[in-house]
Amino acid sequence: MVLLVSEFRPDSCVVAEVKASPNHGERKNDAKPDMLVLHYTGMPDSKLALDHLCSPLSEVSAHYVVMEDGHIVQCVPESRRAWHAGVSSWAGETDINSCSIGVEIANPGHDYGYLDFPRRQIAATIALCRSIFTRHRIPADRVLGHSDIAPARKKDPGEKFPWRLLHDSGVGLWVKPAPITAAGGRIFVLGDRDPEVETLQKSLRTLGYGIEKTGSYDAETMAAVAAFQRHHRPDKVDGIADVSTVATLGALLAARELRTTTAPAKAST
């Protein structure tokens, strides 16, 4: 059953407007959202992008859209399964739509003159994410970009998205990227075969990227490395596993492990 506007009240007080999309369904297997996926709209006009997300012909949607001026529109109730992820995976999960909340951030994207994200827009995005956290238990390392869950297909929200600002406001997991150096250490490029490539692939899989451990630096691995760089080492996004990329990946996994081991135990019931 498609929810009508009259049946749909916003889930958050930071929502300025409801524009209901018909593109949603039941979360499969009674899944509860434990992942937050951030996108950019990737269209030249943000209003047309919002219309697209609400058109039954598009067969795509998101729970929220954050406009350039910080105006937040809710299109799908959080209880429903929005259609934003497409073919994707993270940490072994392939039905990302059922276990996530999708947020579209208005930006023309790489194909239409990729722009810096305005401060008001980022402030609104942070407020929205923090509001979502009051209703759903979403670990910091499961606040992701679309490119993280679909590295071979997607680039959004891209290297200009200020993940550090989100982290500093309690949204997502971030570490300071290791410096980019001109020399020293191993660098892997497309076609390389080496036991250390398999070690790199294992680390990327441990973080959540859906790649195979082959020992070959193939196109799948290169795409995952580029996605990792967009999110965690944005100063240079080339898909080459240089010293900085590998060191940053190691630091991020260590930071995640530290958060896991120092997290307070759940209260017994």
Query: What is the 3-state secondary structure of 12-54?
Result: CCCCCEECCCCCEECCHHHCCCCEEEEEECCCCCHHHHHHHHC
Structure tokens that stand for 108 in this block = 């023309």
Structure tokens that stand for 209 in this block = 């990227």
Cβ pair 83, 56 in contact under 8 A: no
β-bridge mates for residue 102, sequence order: 37
Q: Which residues are catalytic?
A: 104
